[in-house]
Amino acid sequence: MSHPLPTLGRGYYWQELTVGQRFQTFRRTITETDLVNFISTTGMLETIFIDSTFERGAIKGRPVPGALTYGLIEGLLMQGMVQGTGLALLEVHKKMLAPVVVGDTVWAEVEVTSLRPTSTQNRAIVGSRIDVKNQRNEDVITYTATRMLAGKPE
């Protein structure tokens, strides 16, 4: 009899999570290429992002859009928490706390804050708080996310 092999990188089924459970993502250094590709793709061609001579006041370095930082963290979460088990991103509430610049390394701490199985189809609504930090362990973004996750195959 053949037993299926576990899939490397598979996210968590909702039954494998508990309220209060915490995770940490891998780290990701933001490059000039990341900035240029992101603002070109999205059309965020704001002066603060495209003019290296623009006076930015207290911000030292080349700031990146908060949306870029958020997107990179969501990518790290996809690779480690919800790959193959995430069914929907239902709600997000974000607060930007500090600037992120090219050369910063970002990562996140994640806490499961709620877990509610649905009445049908072996799914659950999972809430989490995500605290994004830089290489100095400073909070740069905090957000909550509500996702629908699949359950273990029956």
pLDDT (tens place) for every residue of the chain, 154 residues total: 566 787 888 999 999 999 999 999 999 999 999 999 999 999 999 988 988 888 877 888 899 999 999 999 999 999 989 999 999 999 999 999 999 999 999 999 999 999 999 998 999 999 999 999 999 999 999 999 999 999 999 7
* CATH architecture designation of domain 14-150: Roll (3.10)
User: Could you tell me the residue ranges of all domains in the chain?
Assistant: 14-150
Q: Which residues of 36-66 are buried (b: 16+ CB within 10 A; e: fewer)?
A: eebbeeeebeeebbeeeeeeeeeeeebbbbb
Separation of alpha carbons 142 and 154, rounded Å: 35
- Residue 56's Cβ-side half-sphere holds a number of Cα atoms within 13 Å equal to 18
Separation of alpha carbons 40 and 66, rounded Å: 15
- Measured over the CA atoms of residue 84, residue 85, residue 88 and residue 94, the dihedral's sign is negative
Residue 102 in contact with residue 123, Cβ under 8 Å?
Answer: no
